[in-house]
Structure 1
């Protein structure tokens, strides 16, 4: 019988995302009928206490109309629990005994601190739970630099092949990210222009309004560059910039992504001042509420960056001299994730003598909070035009919420958990991708260290340090806020 092992099952991610996602799959009849879900954590719970915890989590996270009593009961009946300390082999022996000899297809999801990856994997191996094609999913972060990431991957590779290893980036489970592939490779309209001849620049922004939010221990040791750019943003960049894969399968897609990541121009110590900006928020106001500075939240001084902006280049034929501007930060004015592709302007305007300024076409792909795709184009404004034709920028909108109103918006983890259970690695990250990402990030961090400069301050509720504005304005570009 198939079994899903959920490590860290009582944690925040599990209660907010993983258990509700599994319930969503249950409600749609997508889980194997006989699949067991065995949660593990340090907490001393029994099966019934874990079911109560899960029921409470579902009440908090699932809208009431979907909380059908029969579905809840069916889902809770799948759940079992074993408390396991990753550094105590006896816990893994109890876990193996709980699962029993008839394990079927075993899927393992590690939602734990990276420091526990190796002892957890060794404990699983010692209990015989890594054999017979078991699959393992690893939640980020996978290390804090190339060296530590390599150590984690080496530990995994001792017991799991690359085909059995599912490195998770939840952004890849978002509908809009996958729609980017459909937009590019299922339509002939954009592909002829999707290159340096047609595109002037690309912006990728991930803005958060929150501060530390209980992640003090992790975030202060990571910072915005490692927490967001190394994984989410570089994966988005790879999807935007990749060449057409030969087919929609895991190897073809990941082969093209890693080519992009390896083609990223290295930002050296001499380049960091002109190509990167690091910032840290001070006190300010968001949505009318006063919020403290990063150091006040932390309770001490810190050199950790909470904002980063980067001007990146991809040194290949398609993207020669096209800048990719990346920006992410905490305590920014609004929560949003989006990709803006700005096309080049028309080579000659017939409307200039009429006093109408043309704006280049822009493709705006919003990932959150609402998922949508808009193409901004110039159109004639209605009227008799006695003083000349007036043009205005108007959007052609593809609102995924409206266009597919009959479809439920899924949590990204639903797709990724189902892919893990079914063994589909397409939307997971391969080892060579992770290592290419870390190699690029490590060079930026080395440049910052050599420059010995502190993050630039910015007030909470603003769009980061003024240097981030200058980063783009030197090229005549304005951030799309």
Structure 2
């Protein structure tokens, strides 16, 4: 049930995320008439702005980051008029009184978007509560990172829980706002023909890849303490795994969907320290070439030696009735040959080929769900090559494509944050992450890190522009599986 608020408070309102994603997303919702008419948006950060200078700042962000076809001067002007600003030192409790005064009456509802360092959660939550900005009419959206391990995540969750009940806490994973990610649910639960084979009897393996071509960029401070396992696997990749592996929810709502995802996380096979070196591969990019450009290695970009992993590959198992024995291969890395996020589901081969040698080697069917940069669903099937077939039928693998851009041409593709911000404003928790999910994810991740530490695992070097260390290839090929790299 929708319960829209009348006010939105944006922490980090002058940061990179706000400029690139949050302000353009809110403008897009405003331009399409989707925001509550009375909604006001207050930005806050350490930067010294007043309303006028922040509005000028926001206009600059929209000019820079909005696509040309979305710029409408009249809509931009009316959107800018919604904005206000209050500077804040998050560690100074006195500043929250000024913030509360600026926000004003919250009896008609306030949504807070909080993006901050883990060390600042305690003062921020304390300050909000002390200033009357954490009552029953207030909900809060939490941007990652929400800790660095299970212990720190619990500390943050406990801190938030002192002021905000779980039903008013919206943990953000922006991958869940992507159109194609939600299409996983539509594909699985809106069509009957997949369900009979969506299990260990029909599926041989599942591969999830999130590959980036970029290096450190401006995230050195964060990334050196996080690494690929915490930065990508703990949240985005495990959420994708859960959507593929979950049982059919009874309905599409925040309780039913998240209940089924939580069951998947609790079913993930915990890795013993002795197994971790055999089930995981870590790497760190060295110098090389990406997209024809010579780039430095991680340590050179960082300016010092490091054991932080920029690549990780994992063989995971979901120990339940549906998925017993089916490996889930996860792979993510920086300085890869291409920017790509996709899920490849390989079905089991046909038990017998009636076509003989001329039919060729029958390839197992594969379903590929590409999340970015393109968005499509592709089913690879065997088909007959044209001809008279006097010497027998020849078969060849061909793709059946559903391009979302083509199938829904004329429908604007929305930024993930548009959907998540609107759901936060309206109070729909379905695409947000519940506390038990987060903590089950961290428990699994912490066991891997403990195994690395116990075995003295150090990341293997791989050349920028490659698909990671050769050991990652061996991780799948000893099972007779090849990574989907096409």
Q: TM-score range by the shorter chain?
A: over 0.9
Helix, strand or coil for the counterpart of 1:52? helix
TM-score, normalisation: structure 1: 0.99
Helix, strand or coil for the counterpart of 2:56? helix
Q: Is the 8 A contact 2:106 2:137 kept in 1?
A: no
Question: Which deviates further from its counterpart, 87-96 or 218-227?
Answer: 87-96
Partner residue of 1:35? 39
List gaps (5 residues or longer) in structure 1.
none
List gaps (5 residues or longer) in structure 2.
none
Q: Is the 8 A contact 1:337 1:369 kept in 2?
A: yes
Whether 1:133 aligns to 2:133 is no
Helix, strand or coil for the counterpart of 2:125? helix
Which residue among 447, 452, 455 is the counterpart of 1:448? 452
Whether 1:293 aligns to 2:267 is no
1:373-392 matches, within 5 Å, as: 373-392=377-396
Please tell me the root mean square deviation across aligned C-alpha atoms, in Å.
0.9
1:375-454 matches, within 5 Å, as: 375-454=379-458
Q: Is the 8 A contact 1:345 1:361 kept in 2?
A: yes
Which residue among 143, 146, 153 is the counterpart of 2:157? 153
The CA distance in 2 between the partners of 1:411 and 1:195, in whole Å, is 32
Q: Is the 8 A contact 1:335 1:369 kept in 2?
A: yes
1:326-369 deviation per Cα after TM superposition (whole angstroms, max 9, x unaligned): 00000000000000000001111111332511001000000001
Whether 1:184 aligns to 2:188 is yes
The CA distance in 2 between the partners of 1:235 and 1:64, in whole Å, is 33
Helix, strand or coil for the counterpart of 1:4? strand
- Runs of 4 or more, structure 1, over 3 Å off, are none
Alpha-carbon distance, 1:52 to partner: 1.1
Partner residue of 2:54? 50
Partner residue of 1:231? 235
The CA distance in 1 between the partners of 2:230 and 2:100, in whole Å, is 35
Alpha-carbon distance, 1:213 to partner: 1.1
The CA distance in 2 between the partners of 1:463 and 1:65, in whole Å, is 36
Question: Which deviates further from its counterpart, 11-20 or 385-394?
Answer: 385-394
Partner residue of 1:91? 95
1:115-149 deviation per Cα after TM superposition (whole angstroms, max 9, x unaligned): 11111111111101101320000001110000000
Which residue among 3, 6, 10 is the counterpart of 1:2? 6
Whether 1:465 aligns to 2:469 is yes
Partner residue of 1:269? 273
Give the aligned length.
481
